[in-house]
Structure 1
C-alpha cells in the first residue's frame, strides 16, 4: 500500500468513526474502530484506556446531546489524522474549538490527543509568545 492510499484510508476511518458517533450518539459504533490498546492522551499528561475513554465519551453524550459540530479541516499524513472543528453546545451554550489528533495502526485508531479551547478565549492566546 502506498503512503497516499494509507493516508486516504486512515482519513476515511477517522471520519467514519466520528460521523457514527455524532450521528447516532452510540459509542458502540466507535468501539470496533479502536485498537484494544487504544490510549487517549489528555492535556494534563494523563491517559485513558479504551474502556475508560469509551465510558467517559458515553457519559458526556447525555449532556452534550444536540451539540452542533462544524468540521473545519481534516488533514492526514501517513498514520496520523488531524481534525479541527468548532462545536456549539445546545441552547446557545458556549462555542469551543477542538483539535483532535489520531494515530492509526493497522486500520484501527491506536492513539488520540485532544485540545479544547473556548472560542471566546482564542484571541487571548494569539500572542502568547510576545513579551508583556
Structure 2
C-alpha cells in the first residue's frame, strides 16, 4: 500500500460533507502522518494531525488531534503554512535524534540551559497561534500559560515519525489537565527552526484512536 493509497483511503473514508485539505504527508515505516485542515466537521474549519498505522494493506490504527483554525495568530502565520515537502532524506536519522534529544532533555527533563543545542537561537518560526517567534517567544508564552494555571509539562513520548527534515512526536503530559501534545518540527543545519502543534485533552485523544 503506497503512501498515496493510504491518503486516498483515509480521505475517501471521511463522512459525507466533510472535506480534507491536505498540507503535509510524512511517512516512516508503518506510520503515516497527515497534516491538514478539515472542513465541514463542525461550525469552523479544524486544523490537525491524523496519525495512521498501516498493516496488511490497510489502515489498522488511527490517532486524531484537531483544533479550530485561529484567524488572528500572535505570530501572524497560519497553523499550517510553511514548507510542505520533506527534504534532506539522508538526514532523517540525525534529525530524529536531535528532536528526541530536545524532548527528552529539555521538554521532559527541564534542562532549559540546553535549548540552543537543539533549537536555532537565530530563527525559530512558530505556528502555534498563541506563541511568538524565537526561543524568547516560547519562554514568554510558557510563563503566561503558567500564570493562567496552564503549566506546560511533557511526561512521555508515545510515537515519533521522521522523514527528512520533518520530525513529529506524540507525547503525553499536562497543560492545565492531562493532554496529548502533537508537535511537528522542521530541522535545518542541525537545529530545529520551525514548529507546528495541536494540543488535545487526553480523554479526547483516546476517543479518537482506532481504525
Same fold (TM over 0.5): yes
CA contact (8 A) 1:69 1:85 kept: yes
1:31 corresponds, among 116, 120, 126, to: 116
TM score, norm. by length of structure 1? 0.71
State the alpha-carbon separation in 2 of the partners of residues 58 and 18 from structure 1.
19
> Greater helix percent: which structure?
1
How many residue pairs match? The answer is 117
**Secondary structure at the counterpart of residue 141 of structure 2:** helix
| Alignment correspondent of 2:163 | 77
| Alignment correspondent of 2:127 | 41
State the alpha-carbon separation in 1 of the partners of residues 183 and 163 from structure 2.
14
Question: Cα gap change, 1:28/1:83 in structure 2, threshold over 3 Å: closer, same or farther?
Answer: same
Residue 97 in structure 1 maps to residue 176 in structure 2: no
Larger Rg: 2
Give unpaired runs (5+ residues) of structure 1: 127-132
**Secondary structure at the counterpart of residue 195 of structure 2:** strand
Question: How large is the RMSD of aligned CA atoms in angstroms?
Answer: 2.9
Q: Deviations over 1:64-122 (max 9, x none)?
A: 48x46121101100000000112246xxx732111100000111101011110012334
TM score, norm. by length of structure 2? 0.47
Residue 11 in structure 1 maps to residue 57 in structure 2: no
Superposed counterparts of 1:44-55, under 5 Å: 44=129, 47-50=131-134, 51-55=136-140
Give unpaired runs (5+ residues) of structure 2: 1-87
Higher relative contact order, structure no. (Cα contacts within 8 Å, ≥ 6 residues apart): 1
